[in-house]
Structure 1
Amino acid sequence: MLLKNLKFIRIGLRWNSSGVQSARAKSRASPLTGHYVGFGLLAVTMTGLVYNDDMRQRTVETFLIAERVGVVAIATARCFAMYLKTLNREYATKEDYYEALSKTHKQAAETTLQALRKNGGIYIKLGQHVSAMSYLLPPEWTNTMVPLQSECPESSLEEIKEMFEHDMDVSLDEYFLDFEPKPIGVASLAQVHIATLRENGQKVAVKLQHPSLERFVPLDVELTAMVFNAMKKVFPEYPLTWLSDELRQSIFVELDFRNEAENAKITADYFKDYKSLTALRIPNVHAAKRRILIMEYVSGTRLDDLDYLDKHDISRSDVSSCLSHIFNNMIFQAGFVHCDPHHGNLAIRALPKKKNGHNFEIILYDHGLYRRIPSQMKVDYARFWLAMIEKKPDEMQKYGKRFSKIEDESLFPVLAAALTGRDFEHALSGNIATPRSQKEIEVMKRALTDEGVLLDLMALLASVPRIVLLILKTNDLTRHLDEALQNPLGLERTFFIMATYCARAVYADDTARLHEKWSIFSVHRLVGSITALWNLYSRIFLLTFYDVVFYLRELL
């Protein structure tokens, strides 16, 4: 449709150009004739708009496209002007520079926020992504984008009905016994309604893509790429094209809900054997089309609703442990990772009686974005974390560089800080099991205003594989969830759970290498197998020991 619109624009331009030339030629002979021609052209155009539905639709869409392009262009130009003015000015002190840059960050972020709100759709998605990157971007940007987590435009019921009938070949009234017109949740790409199936009376959640995305996503993806490419030309020291690259790679996958249905099934099948560790519940899928997903309705409350947890006697430390098992299993064992675990995609609900050892279930929604981690990357990442926990800086750097594919050693401190969510001192020393102090948080915020650190950060983000960026995002989101739970047992147990999964990944890799290199009767293979087994079970024993200590501490 967009290509048709662009063709329509080109034809219109050529037609108008020839028409104007003709009118000018005739106006030299007779001014009155020129007026007749002009009025005639206007009359023909208006008649076409009134009686030709296709022409009218294309004209409307052309104006909408022009409006969206204008919003992006104006916001981009304003932000460029702000930063050029600030960066080209001279300052008496470094503090004056930091203050001016902070104000510019805030002004540019607010300008961008208004543009994202105006255009909606994937621009909201982009803003949400920025708001979640507190570990990487200045707080003036991330804090300004936070409202987009809950401010998503709602599609009308008429639009939803039309799309449903088009995609399902049946009306809403024929398919459902009842359908709640008000959505229970609205996100950047879709909204969810509660309904009851006519065929069996089952209560379901119906996820419906915003119909307008069909028209504008291809254009918006290209516009986003153009903006970030322009930014790279104006500010080559701050490359952000990786953001548009990731959007281009992931958005069309997310917009096909059949992928989400398949991911949900794979994840549910995998975790059915780990429910005693995870308490994980994934709603079953009833039907899936490209823009429509119908699932069983499983309600829940936000994971960080501490009053709800206390009211239902749900242990915060137990919830924290289950979260650790879910995402560490995904990363280090399954290698198939949910890449958007924010507050809106996770919920908890109390159970009337214990099931699989827990009096609650953790519900995981929105399975549209998953990534598979390459085996060697998974092992290198596991070795990095073991070196971090065991405070072995040389091995930390070795495996961190291998995992992230960075060659510049000067970028490693930034990588370690981004992976751990800690300042340079804690990240490089491996002292990460203690909670972050307010002083450390302030140090990290100030570091993002340092031009040298910011340049290193931009260079890191531009150089690492896209899967590493998604792991960074998942790390940060799960870390924030864990902090929001205010786990009384602290971070130590979370890290020991992760260490166990890392140890298993390393053990599997060590064993595979021994089997590949040595025969079954080799002494080297025997000694290597014993060493690998010892390393694995010593860490598991340590976790078991700490489990007992933490359990006793919680009782006291």
Structure 2
Amino acid sequence: MLGGRLHSVMKYSLAAGLIGGTALSLRGNQYQLDSIGIVRLSRAASTVFQIGIIYKIDLYGQHLDKKSIEYTELKSVCHKRAAEKLLKLCCTNKGVYIKVGQHIAALEYLLPSEYVETMKVLHCHAPTNEIEEVYKVIKEDLKKDPFEIFESIETEPLGTASLAQVHKAKLKDGSTVAIKVQHPYVQGNSRVDMKTMEYLVKMMSWVFPEFKFQWLVDESKKNIPRELDFAQEGHNAEKIASLFGDVEWLKVPKVRWDLTTPRVLTMDFVEGGQVNDLDYIREHNINPKEVSDKLGKLYSRMIFIHGFVHSDPHPGNILVNKSDNGYCNIVLLDHGLYADLKDEFRVEYANLWLSILNRDRRAMRQHSKNLGIDGDAYGLFACMVTGRTWDSITRGIDKYIRDIDGTFGFKKEVFALLKEKTCHTEEWQKHGCLLVDECKIYPT
């Protein structure tokens, strides 16, 4: 039965991409082989077929007791093999596939660890383009030869992501900048790739009913067009810099608007090491606890005060360096995707955090339900939100989030939001008392 379904997946996937996929992709990419819709779709469909065979023959075909150690070990091996095939597909098709692979790498509580660990390489080792392709995009968008604008451009990228790569460069006036240049194939391929992935996810859901990832496709379809507009990214950077204008330790590189287009973003270059680079942190005598505290304060304020949240906070997008006064700075990069949180969501999310901090399971369940998480899944949701085990949550998570000066800065942000949104109500009185008891923080 499963084999028949897999055969159908392959056959109908190829047929579906023949007309629409080829036409869309050829028009945007001058007939490059890897940009032909049917080639990309066939590659994806073939990978799905191979992954299905791994599970059908090598796992389910062994007819092992699902509670046995042998089955568990074999399942892990199959997960690893399937994940490696998926990684190869992402690296070959690039673009949107890399982006989705990065999302998979972040789903630690939803996917087998073999998939998560395999895909993590995409956060810092995405495929790069030749420098000539970078020059071509710059010339097309800025309407000048790159070396009429730049004194020099380093050929080795500082980093490569799913949709672009970044190069360090020096302007004619001697100032140093970072140029983010979109991969030339992304725009032309993005529409057909999203259609392909949507189709393949539906096919996988048919073959494996427990495979429910249409939401990931829906989010990608909504967000990728935003991330492909680098001018919008520049506006996001300026907005977050303005919102945190009073925070000296947050650094957002300045946008060079005269050298910015939807495919090219030029910003001042800022030195720093990745936030998870412990060797860099030790070499520069930066206090890791201070880094952790400032990140907590940064995101707490984004969520609970401004409702404008940087939505791609992997280590490559957050740098640290040491300021002249001896404290650490946080450098925030890649402003392509922000979430605008509604007041109703923020208040409910704040209430959820209070229930977690107070170890109130009934309230956790209720506020999780209000956020769309029904039933006993509230415990898993609490673990995902906090990044902690259920055991640490039930023992008391507040011991883990105390600030470097001994106060509870995170709770202050929650307190401020609830005070603003529920002031002079019975609900505010209740939560105010909870916070006073828990944190010894008093209304101002």
TM range (shorter): 0.7 to 0.9
Runs (5+) with no aligned partner, structure 1: 11-53, 435-489, 515-524, 544-556
| 2:334 alignment partner, SS class | coil
| 1:178 alignment partner, SS class | strand
Is contact 1:312–1:350 with CA below 8 Å preserved after alignment?
A: yes
Is contact 1:510–1:532 with CA below 8 Å preserved after alignment?
A: no
| 2:256 alignment partner, SS class | strand
Instruction: Identify the residue that residue 416 of structure 1 maps to in structure 2.
Output: 382
Instruction: Identify the residue that residue 162 of structure 1 maps to in structure 2.
Output: 136
Which of 432, 440, 448 is the matching residue for 2:397? Answer: 432
Q: Which amino acid aligns with 2:396?
A: N
Structure 1 residues 542 and 87: alpha-carbon distance in aligned structure 2, compared to 1, 3 A threshold: farther
Structure-to-structure mapping, 1:183-198, within 5 angstroms: 183-198=157-172
Instruction: Identify the residue that residue 382 of structure 1 maps to in structure 2.
Output: 350
Instruction: Identify the residue that residue 420 of structure 2 maps to in structure 1.
Output: 508
TM-aligned CA deviation for residue 135 of structure 1 = 2.8
Structure 1 residues 9 and 101: alpha-carbon distance in aligned structure 2, compared to 1, 3 A threshold: closer
- CA distance in 1: counterparts of 2:89 and 2:427, whole angstroms: 59
Matched, 1:541 2:440: yes
Structure 1 residues 87 and 431: alpha-carbon distance in aligned structure 2, compared to 1, 3 A threshold: farther
Structure 1 residues 58 and 158: alpha-carbon distance in aligned structure 2, compared to 1, 3 A threshold: closer
Instruction: Identify the residue that residue 251 of structure 2 maps to in structure 1.
Output: 281
- CA distance in 2: counterparts of 1:158 and 1:497, whole angstroms: 48
Instruction: Identify the residue that residue 372 of structure 2 maps to in structure 1.
Output: 405
Structure 1 residues 236 and 291: alpha-carbon distance in aligned structure 2, compared to 1, 3 A threshold: same
Q: Which amino acid aligns with 1:79?
A: I
Deviations 1:390-410 (A, max 9, x none): 1222112111211x223x313
Moved more, 181-190 or 254-263: 181-190
Is contact 2:286–2:328 with CA below 8 Å preserved after alignment?
A: yes
Is contact 2:273–2:281 with CA below 8 Å preserved after alignment?
A: no
- CA distance in 1: counterparts of 2:124 and 2:432, whole angstroms: 48
Structure 1 residues 420 and 197: alpha-carbon distance in aligned structure 2, compared to 1, 3 A threshold: same
- CA distance in 2: counterparts of 1:371 and 1:80, whole angstroms: 35
- CA distance in 2: counterparts of 1:217 and 1:301, whole angstroms: 31
| 2:328 alignment partner, SS class | strand
- CA distance in 2: counterparts of 1:169 and 1:530, whole angstroms: 61
Percent identity, aligned pairs only, is 31
Runs (5+) with no aligned partner, structure 2: 1-17
- CA distance in 1: counterparts of 2:168 and 2:431, whole angstroms: 51
Moved more, 140-149 or 223-232: 140-149
Q: Which amino acid aligns with 1:114?
A: K
TM-aligned CA deviation for residue 207 of structure 1 = 0.7
TM-score, normalization by structure 2: 0.85
- CA distance in 1: counterparts of 2:347 and 2:427, whole angstroms: 17
Structure 1 residues 63 and 284: alpha-carbon distance in aligned structure 2, compared to 1, 3 A threshold: closer
Deviations 1:404-459 (A, max 9, x none): 223x31322222232233344444x363356xxxxxxxxxxxxxxxxxxxxxxxxx
Q: Which amino acid aligns with 2:201?
A: F
TM-aligned CA deviation for residue 254 of structure 1 = 0.5
Instruction: Identify the residue that residue 371 of structure 1 maps to in structure 2.
Output: 339
TM-aligned CA deviation for residue 289 of structure 1 = 0.7
Q: Which amino acid aligns with 1:333?
A: I
Is contact 1:507–1:536 with CA below 8 Å preserved after alignment?
A: no
- CA distance in 1: counterparts of 2:203 and 2:398, whole angstroms: 42
Is contact 2:273–2:320 with CA below 8 Å preserved after alignment?
A: yes
Structure 1 residues 197 and 62: alpha-carbon distance in aligned structure 2, compared to 1, 3 A threshold: closer
Instruction: Identify the residue that residue 10 of structure 2 maps to in structure 1.
Output: none
- CA distance in 1: counterparts of 2:163 and 2:85, whole angstroms: 22
Instruction: Identify the residue that residue 9 of structure 2 maps to in structure 1.
Output: none
- CA distance in 2: counterparts of 1:216 and 1:298, whole angstroms: 32
Structure 1 residues 90 and 496: alpha-carbon distance in aligned structure 2, compared to 1, 3 A threshold: farther
Matched, 1:260 2:233: yes
| 2:36 alignment partner, SS class | helix
Structure 1 residues 283 and 239: alpha-carbon distance in aligned structure 2, compared to 1, 3 A threshold: same
Deviations 1:289-316 (A, max 9, x none): 1000010111111223334333433222
| 2:271 alignment partner, SS class | coil
Structure-to-structure mapping, 1:452-531, within 5 angstroms: 491-493=401-403, 496-511=408-423, 514=424
Q: Pick the structure with more helix per residue.
A: 1
TM-aligned CA deviation for residue 272 of structure 1 = 1.0
Instruction: Identify the residue that residue 74 of structure 1 maps to in structure 2.
Output: 46
Matched, 1:392 2:360: yes
| 2:331 alignment partner, SS class | strand
Structure 1 residues 541 and 188: alpha-carbon distance in aligned structure 2, compared to 1, 3 A threshold: same
Q: Which amino acid aligns with 1:419?
A: V
- CA distance in 2: counterparts of 1:270 and 1:536, whole angstroms: 26
TM-aligned CA deviation for residue 530 of structure 1 = 6.9
Structure-to-structure mapping, 1:323-342, within 5 angstroms: 323-342=295-314
TM-aligned CA deviation for residue 93 of structure 1 = 5.7
TM-aligned CA deviation for residue 63 of structure 1 = 7.5
Structure-to-structure mapping, 1:50-89, within 5 angstroms: 59-60=31-32, 64-85=36-57, 86-87=59-60
Equivalenced residues, count: 417
Q: Name the larger-Rg structure.
A: 1
Instruction: Identify the residue that residue 438 of structure 1 maps to in structure 2.
Output: none
TM-aligned CA deviation for residue 147 of structure 1 = 2.2
Q: CA RMSD in A?
A: 2.9
Which of 186, 195, 201 is the matching residue for 1:213? Answer: 186
Instruction: Identify the residue that residue 271 of structure 2 maps to in structure 1.
Output: 299
TM-aligned CA deviation for residue 157 of structure 1 = 2.4
- CA distance in 1: counterparts of 2:285 and 2:22, whole angstroms: 63
Moved more, 411-420 or 229-238: 411-420
Structure-to-structure mapping, 1:24-39, within 5 angstroms: none
TM-score, normalization by structure 1: 0.69
Is contact 1:350–1:360 with CA below 8 Å preserved after alignment?
A: yes
Deviations 1:473-527 (A, max 9, x none): xxxxxxxxxxxxxxxxx5444893322211211111221xx3xxxxxxxxxx7x8
Structure 1 residues 531 and 61: alpha-carbon distance in aligned structure 2, compared to 1, 3 A threshold: closer
Deviations 1:162-201 (A, max 9, x none): 2222211222122223222332222221111122223x43
Structure-to-structure mapping, 1:139-150, within 5 angstroms: 139-150=113-124
- CA distance in 2: counterparts of 1:392 and 1:63, whole angstroms: 53
| 1:347 alignment partner, SS class | strand
Which of 172, 184, 197 is the matching residue for 2:146? Answer: 172
